[in-house]
């Protein structure tokens, strides 16, 4: 069965268990809000559950529930929550989830909020198997090399007789390598009657949901299993070591999928890509690239090395080297870096340039415009064809307000210039190097805003006669360096 099998009838309900304490994560943030490949574990579970188009999608919350419910409101408007005030076991949690839904009929899927690899397609397969065999209960299982800590599947031929938790298992049962994922499909009637029969007569003193399978088998109701080969889809996350392993495996799968789709990764092991990133064909990712959020990269673009982009749109053929950027747009054929910092609101036009040690914020830079070196461009509108000289500062903040400056088409701003916002530099204007501009510059004008240079002849020889500088000055014949003279001659010509 695949994602193309869209004729599967909706299930009556999906109950997602999300009430656990998550104490092994040792965090003030709910375990379920910790991220795998850029999305919370809870979001993966909700997405997988939603693939079944359930009539009811219930998330059972408990520990840090204010955080969990707040996050759920951002994820989906169709999810409802139920509260498990006391942690009395998985059976009790499911009962809390069903409370208030009434005596409906149909299939009920139970899953967990900390199993981020589980897909909607796998849940659809599980439901299809459940229906095809007319089961009262169907459990998703897997075979693992080390089943320690997992509940073991007890079989009698092709049928399932029950599940025994690791702490309650005999030595013979602990040798079983088929484990319970904790993910089930129940007939609603069987589930309600099974929950009503639960006791706490076990090592944990809790109401085990697994005992519903024993109840069903004992009542001659068919209990089946769907064995999955991809064990990772059954893996939960309980601590940060497991979270790191999950991120590593998810990232491996994401990388492999993109490479098979035509993306070059020079060093896949040092490349990290979030699940919502989109890459075109013939993109090249150099070592140390981290692509986060909803970043998109156009065909033939080159990213890295050592570049982090979060929610950045990169146009086709662009090149971004040793750069950190967030919430920015980089146009087709543009060049960024090395050592550039693109803050939110940056928009670089087609074939534009943001160069070495340049920081931009809320800056719109037009097609072909260049901000090549050592510049801060904050709250700036820089039109096409502009050249911003090295060391230019857009002084956008006066201590109270932030203001915008504009540099018109094909204008030139000389090096070491300060534009004190708000100022408007007209199209084709020239601002002399070293200027501090506080007034508008009309189109085509030359602006000079600096004090006249004053030279005091013989100062070094007179004031510091024993210095190396004085000796060098005394030896000099007064001639101009040939390279400078050549440049002056070119200007005169």
Reported confidence tier of residue 248, pLDDT bands at 50, 70, 90? very high
What's the mean per-residue pLDDT of the chain? 94
Sign of the four-CA dihedral 168, 174, 179, 184: negative
pLDDT(386) > 80: yes
Question: What phi, psi does 242 have (nearest 5°)?
Answer: -65, -35
How far is CA 381 from each of CA 40, 327, 336, 410, rounded to the nearest angstrom?
37, 17, 18, 13
Does residue 473 sit within a domain? no
Among 71, 75, 74, 63, residue whose Cα is nearest residue 28: 63
CATH of the domain at 228: 3.90.550.10
Q: Are 389 and 374 in contact (CB under 8 A)?
A: no
SS3 83: strand
Rounded to whole angstroms, the Cα distance separating 435 from 375 reads 14
Q: How far apart are CA 326 and CA 276, in angstroms?
A: 15
Contact in structure between 377 and 393 (CB atoms under 8 Å): no
| Cβ-contact 137, 190 below 8 angstroms | yes
Give, in degrees to the nearest 5, the angle at Cα 318 between 313 and 319.
110
What percent of the residues of the chain are helix, what percent strand, and what percent coil, each to the nearest 5?
Answer: 25, 30, 45
Boundary of a domain, candidates 200, 217, 234: 234
3-class SS at 218? Answer: helix
d(CA 192, CA 202): 21
* 313 within a domain of the structure (yes/no): yes
Q: What is the mean pLDDT of residues 153-165?
A: 87
- Between CA 75 and CA 239 the distance in angstroms is 24
For residue 433, which phi and psi values (nearest 5 degrees)? -55, 145
Q: Average of pLDDT values for 308-337?
A: 98
Q: Mind listing the pLDDT tens digit for each residue in 163-196?
A: 898 988 999 999 999 999 999 999 999 999 999 9
DSSP β-ladder status, 152-156 and 159-164: antiparallel
* Residue 3 pLDDT exceeds 50: no
3-state class (DSSP) for residue 340: strand
Q: CB–CB of 146/270 below 8 Å?
A: no
pLDDT band at 158 (very low <50, low <70, confident <90, very high): confident
Q: Which helix (H) or strand (E) holds 109?
A: strand 107-112
Cα gap 281→368, rounded to integer Å: 25
CA distances in angstroms from 434 to 247, 279, 416, 447, 456, listed in the order given: 50, 43, 5, 11, 21
**Secondary structure (DSSP) of 134-186:** T-SEEEEEEE-S--TTSPEEEEETTEEEEEE-GGG--HHHHT--EEEEEEEEE
Closest alpha carbon to 139 in 179, 194, 184, 188: 184
Cα–Cα distance list, 131 to 123, 185, 188, 217 (Å)? 12, 9, 13, 17
Q: How many Å apart are CA 116 and CA 39, to the nearest integer?
A: 9
| Confidence label for 339 from pLDDT (cuts 50, 70 and 90) | very high
Phi, psi of 213 (to 5 degrees): -65, -40
Instruction: Identify whether residues 225 and 245 lie together within a single domain.
Output: no
- Which has the closest alpha carbon to 15: 100, 73, 136, 88? 100
Q: What is the pLDDT of residue 6?
A: 55
Final residue in a domain of this structure, among 217, 234, 251: 234
Q: Is the dihedral of CA 353, 348, 417, 398 positive or negative?
A: negative
Residue 419 lies in a domain: yes
Going by pLDDT thresholds of 50, 70 and 90, the confidence category of residue 162 is confident
What 8-state DSSP symbol labels residue 56? E
CB 126 within 8 A of CB 109: yes
Same domain, 49 and 119: yes
Is the predicted pLDDT of residue 355 greater than 80, yes or no? Answer: yes
Residues 244, 230, single domain; the answer is: no
In this structure, are 26 and 90 located in the same domain? yes
**What tokens were used for 449?**
């805003």
Q: Look at residue 465 and tell me if it is in a domain.
A: no
* 424 lies in some domain: yes
Asked if 209 and 244 sit in the same domain, the reply is no
Domain around 443 = 240-447
Tokens coding 244: 């790191």
Verify that 230 and 344 share a domain, yes or no.
Answer: no
Residues 138 and 207 in one domain: yes
* 360 and 253 in a common domain: yes
Kindly state whether residues 253 and 368 are assigned to the same domain. yes
The mean per-residue pLDDT over the stretch 342-361 comes to: 98
Residues 72 and 214 in one domain: yes
Domain count, the chain: 2
Which residues, at least 6 apart from 396, have a Cβ–Cβ distance to it below 8 Å?
378, 379, 380, 402, 403, 404, 405, 421
Stretch (H or E) spanning 468: helix 468-475
Per-residue pLDDT of 424-448, as tens digits, reads: 999 999 999 999 999 999 999 999 9
The yes-or-no answer on residue 63 being catalytic is no
- Say what percent of the chain tops pLDDT 70: 99
**Residue 148, both tokens:** 């320690």
CATH code where residue 393 lies: 2.160.10.10
* Domain boundary residue, one of 447, 473, 488: 447
Q: Edge-to-edge, what's the strand order for the sheet holding 319-320?
A: 264-265, 284-285, 302-303, 319-320, 335-336, 353-356, 370-373, 387-388, 412-413, 430-431, 446-447
The model's pTM is 0.90
Which residue in 56, 373, 406, 476 is the catalytic one?
373
256 and 405 fall within a common domain: yes
pLDDT at 432: 95
Asked if the model's pLDDT at residue 4 lies above 70, the reply is: no
Distance CA 426, CA 424 (A): 6
Q: In this structure, what are the phi and psi dihedrals at residue 93, rounded to the nearest 5 degrees?
A: -60, -45
Same domain, 139 and 254: no
């Amino acid at each position: 069965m695949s994602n193309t099998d869209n004729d599967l009838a909706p299930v009556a309900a999906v109950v997602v268990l999300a009430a656990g304490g998550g104490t092994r994560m040792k965090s003030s943030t709910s375990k379920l809000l910790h991220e795998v490949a850029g999305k919370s574990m809870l979001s993966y579970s909700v997405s997988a559950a939603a693939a079944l188009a359930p009539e009811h999608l219930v998330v059972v919350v408990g520990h840090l529930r204010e955080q969990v419910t707040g996050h759920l409101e951002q994820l989906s408007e169709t999810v409802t929550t139920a509260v498990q005030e006391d942690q009395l076991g998985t059976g009790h949690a499911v009962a809390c989830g069903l409370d208030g839904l009434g005596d409906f009929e149909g299939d009920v899927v139970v899953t967990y909020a900390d199993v981020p690899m589980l897909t909607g397609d796998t849940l659809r397969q599980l439901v299809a198997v459940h229906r095809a065999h007319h089961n009262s209960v169907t459990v998703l299982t897997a075979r693992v090399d080390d089943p320690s800590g997992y509940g073991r599947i007890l079989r009698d031929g092709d049928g399932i007789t029950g599940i025994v938790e690791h702490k309650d298992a005999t030595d013979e049962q602990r040798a079983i390598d088929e484990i319970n994922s904790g993910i089930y499909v129940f007939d609603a009637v069987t589930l309600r009657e099974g929950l009503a029969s639960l006791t706490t007569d076990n090592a944990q003193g809790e109401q085990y949901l697994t005992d519903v399978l024993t109840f069903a088998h004992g009542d001659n109701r068919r209990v089946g299993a769907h064995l999955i080969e991809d064990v990772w889809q059954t893996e939960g996350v309980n601590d940060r070591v497991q979270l790191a392993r999950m991120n590593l495996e998810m990232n491996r799968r994401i990388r492999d999928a993109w490479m098979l789709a035509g993306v070059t990764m020079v060093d896949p092991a040092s490349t990290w890509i979030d699940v919502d990133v989109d890459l075109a064909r013939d993109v090249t990712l150099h070592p140390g690239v981290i692509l986060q959020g909803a970043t998109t990269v156009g065909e033939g673009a080159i990213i890295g090395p050592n570049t982090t982009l979060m929610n950045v749109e990169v146009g086709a053929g662009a090149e971004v080297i040793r750069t950190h950027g967030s919430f920015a747009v980089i146009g087709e054929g543009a060049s960024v870096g090395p050592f550039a910092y693109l803050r939110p609101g940056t928009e670089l036009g087609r074939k534009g340039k943001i160069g070495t040690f340049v920081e931009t914020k809320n800056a719109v830079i037009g097609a072909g415009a260049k901000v090549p070196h050592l510049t801060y461009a904050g709250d700036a509108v820089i039109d096409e064809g502009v050249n911003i000289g090295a060391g230019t500062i857009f002084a956008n903040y006066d201590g109270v307000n932030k203001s915008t400056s504009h540099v018109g088409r094909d204008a030139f701003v000389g090096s070491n210039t300060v534009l004190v916002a708000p100022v408007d530099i007209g199209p084709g204007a020239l601002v002399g190097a070293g200027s501090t501009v506080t007034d508008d510059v009309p189109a085509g004008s030359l602006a000079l805003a600096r004090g006249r240079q004053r030279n005091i002849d013989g100062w070094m020889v007179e004031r510091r006669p024993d210095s190396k500088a004085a000796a060098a000055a005394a030896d000099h014949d007064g001639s101009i360096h040939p390279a400078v003279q050549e440049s002056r001659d070119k200007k005169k010509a």
